[in-house]
């Protein structure tokens, strides 16, 4: 099964928020399904959807 990945811009559009919000949470490592490919971040759409359905999009900060 092929997974769909979203760019920062696509994720911002999908969540109806700003790219600045996404980038802020990239730095804090709180977004689920985040994968870094070189210098570019992608997000597994299935992980985002799963977390949205659970009502907890942002993960707890890693300490």
The three state secondary structure string of the chain is CCCCEECHHHHHHHHCCCHHHHHHHHHCCCCCCEEEECCEEEEEHHHHHHHHHHCCCCCCCCC
Share of the chain above pLDDT 70, in %: 90
pLDDT at res. 13:
97
More confident residue, 7 or 54: 7
Share of the chain above pLDDT 90, in %: 59
- Residue pair 59/32 in contact by the 8 Å Cβ criterion: yes
d(CA 40, CA 22): 13
Residue ranges of domains in the chain, CATH in brackets: 5-54 (3.90.105)
pLDDT (tens digit per residue) in 11-37:
999 999 999 999 999 888 888 889 999
């Amino acid at each position: 099964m092929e997974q769909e990945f979203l760019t920062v811009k696509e994720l911002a559009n999908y969540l109806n928020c700003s790219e600045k919000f996404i980038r802020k949470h990239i730095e804090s490592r709180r977004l689920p399904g985040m994968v870094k490919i070189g210098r570019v971040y992608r997000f597994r759409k299935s992980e985002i959807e799963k977390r949205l359905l659970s009502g907890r999009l942002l993960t707890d900060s890693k300490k």
